[in-house]
């Protein structure tokens, strides 16, 4: 979420060495304490009190004509409903969209099997959410505990928070990203030239209440893995730089993909993924031909290809929206909960995250199917994806294919 200065925010005063610079450059050096995309905290001489200002265009009340035109000309995305096969991966992605509290999905498989294509195709299916208008973190106006510091302060002062509707965002985390780009950073240039400590939110701020996608996650640097672990565990990101500490909500669906031949994930990060999907290369010749032909059609005429799947996309969108609205009404019998925990216990799964995720995923699947009660069949469908990546005790071992989980499930559920 790039922080941009509005033309009106630039001050007429600037350091002498920039007096002859072009207007576009001079606008970067201003003396005001308000700027788009972050925090401004004054610290100049004298008894002036520190103050915190948040301003952002993350949740506009209305889209301009230019924004709509830009959206129409951006790179087209392959339709989710056009993906052939890979049902396990697609189901895990849909369940996480229905219930973000499942905790994300790790997709591992051979190269060239459509992992990143499937993840990025979710962008057309993501629902709209209510956010605090202008808040850089897309805070939920209906959840006071997850509001940003600025929104919480405005609420405490008796202000009515403006509400806008925006689509859930998907943020890509590049492998080469720096820690400051991911967490946010203090703009030292503004501190030296303007007397303002300016916090510029990073990718974690943009991904709040959205999706954070890491391609080739098993190649991610250790220091970025530590950042993701901290944020995924607490749901908050804390940045401490230059004597100032700022925390903001960072609750996101973590989706990762990778090739197991290039290395395995650290067990701590692997456990943070709610579900695990394995993708294999299609061996059926007829199916391979169909995939190649569909891809060729998309490359030749992306707009026409997307139009041919418009009805299926809209049907899937409505199905997801209905499942999200009915999720709270889905019930799971106590007897089924006990059997889920018994499976986890007998498989020697560490902690209780496996139990929690299996319950959530089964309820999301029941909601997707339009039912208000979980069945044993729902549990049988999701439990391998929820548990198999939690069975590995030795980092040198490979992740189980799910056969152990399936065998134990039928043993317990009879």
Q: What is the pLDDT of residue 60?
A: 42
Q: What is the pLDDT of residue 341?
A: 95
Q: What is the pLDDT of residue 229?
A: 81
Q: What is the pTM of this model?
A: 0.77
Residue 387 contacts residue 343 (beta carbons within 8 Å): yes
Domains in the chain, CATH or no CATH each: 17-281 (3.40.50.300), 330-414 (1.10.8.80)
- The mean pLDDT of 207-231, rounded to a whole number, is 87
Six token digits for residue 125: 């299916």
Q: What is the DSSP string of 85-137?
A: S-HHHHHHHHHHHH-GGG--EEEEE-TTSSHHHHHHGGGGTPPEEEEETT-TT
**Top mean-pLDDT range of 74-83, 238-247, 330-339, 405-414:** 330-339
Active site residue 50: no
- The mean pLDDT of 135-150, rounded to a whole number, is 85
334 — pLDDT class (breaks 50, 70, 90): very high
- The mean pLDDT of 395-408, rounded to a whole number, is 74
Q: Does the pLDDT at position 132 exceed 60?
A: yes
375 — pLDDT class (breaks 50, 70, 90): very high
For residue 48, the 8-state DSSP code is P
Catalytic residue among 33, 209, 251, 353: 353
Separation of alpha carbons 288 and 86, rounded Å? 12
- The mean pLDDT of 75-98, rounded to a whole number, is 91
The larger pLDDT score, comparing residue 245 to residue 104, is at 104
Beta bridge partners of 186: 199
The larger pLDDT score, comparing residue 93 to residue 22, is at 93
Residue 255 contacts residue 207 (beta carbons within 8 Å): no
Q: Are strands 253-258 and 105-109 parallel, antiparallel or unpaired?
A: parallel
Separation of alpha carbons 152 and 161, rounded Å? 9
Q: Does the pLDDT at position 2 exceed 80?
A: no
Q: What is the pLDDT of residue 74?
A: 65
Query: pLDDT over 90 for what percent of the chain?
Result: 36
Query: pLDDT over 70 for what percent of the chain?
Result: 78
- The mean pLDDT of 68-85, rounded to a whole number, is 71
Residue 8: half-sphere exposure toward Cβ, Cα within 13 Å: 0
**Top mean-pLDDT range of 23-32, 185-194, 312-321:** 312-321
pLDDT digits (tens, 9 = 90+) for 90-128: 999 999 999 999 989 999 988 888 899 999 999 889 888
Over the chain, what is the mean pLDDT?
79
Q: Does the pLDDT at position 28 exceed 50?
A: no
Residue 80's nearest CA partner among 70, 93, 62 is: 93
């Amino acid at each position: 979420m790039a922080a941009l200065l509005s033309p009106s925010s630039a001050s007429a005063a600037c350091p002498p060495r920039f007096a002859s610079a072009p207007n576009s450059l001079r606008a970067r050096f201003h003396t005001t304490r308000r700027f788009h995309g972050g925090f401004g905290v004054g610290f100049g001489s004298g008894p002036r009190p520190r103050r915190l200002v948040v301003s952002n265009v993350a949740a506009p009340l209305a889209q301009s004509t230019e924004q709509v035109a830009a959206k129409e000309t951006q790179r087209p995305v392959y339709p989710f409903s056009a993906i052939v096969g890979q049902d396990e991966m697609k189901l895990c992605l849909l369940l996480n969209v229905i219930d973000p509290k499942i905790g994300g999905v790790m997709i591992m498989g051979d190269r060239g099997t459509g992992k990143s294509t499937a993840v990025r195709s979710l962008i057309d299916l993501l629902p709209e959410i209510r956010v605090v208008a202008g808040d850089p973190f897309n805070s939920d106006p209906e959840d006071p505990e997850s509001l940003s510091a600025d929104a919480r302060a405005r609420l405490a002062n008796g202000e009515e928070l403006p509400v806008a509707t925006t689509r859930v965002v998907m943020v890509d985390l590049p492998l080469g990203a720096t820690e400051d780009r991911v967490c946010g950073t203090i703009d030292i240039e503004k501190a030296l030239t303007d007397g303002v400590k300016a916090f510029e939110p990073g990718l974690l701020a943009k991904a709040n209440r959205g999706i954070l996608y890491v391609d080739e996650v098993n190649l991610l640097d250790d220091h970025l893995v530590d950042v993701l672990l901290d944020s995924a565990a607490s749901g908050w990101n804390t940045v401490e730089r230059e004597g100032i500490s700022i925390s903001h909500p960072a609750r996101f669906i973590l989706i990762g993909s990778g090739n197991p031949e290039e290395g395995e994930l650290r067990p701590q990060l692997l456990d943070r993924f709610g579900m695990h999907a394995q993708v294999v290369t299609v061996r059926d010749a007829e199916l391979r031909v169909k995939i190649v032909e569909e891809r060729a059609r998309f490359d030749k005429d992306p707009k026409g290809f997307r139009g041919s799947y418009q009805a299926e996309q809209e049907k899937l969108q409505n199905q997801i929206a209905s499942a999200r609205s009915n999720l709270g009404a889905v019930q799971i019998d106590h007897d089924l909960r006990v059997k889920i925990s018994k499976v986890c216990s007998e498989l020697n799964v560490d902690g209780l995250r496996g139990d929690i995720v299996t319950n959530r995923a089964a309820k999301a699947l029941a909601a997707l199917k339009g039912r208000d009660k979980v069945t044993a069949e729902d549990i049988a469908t999701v439990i391998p994806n929820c548990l198999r990546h939690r069975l590995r005790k030795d980092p040198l071992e490979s992740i189980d294919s799910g056969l152990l989980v399936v065998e134990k499930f039928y043993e317990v559920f009879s």
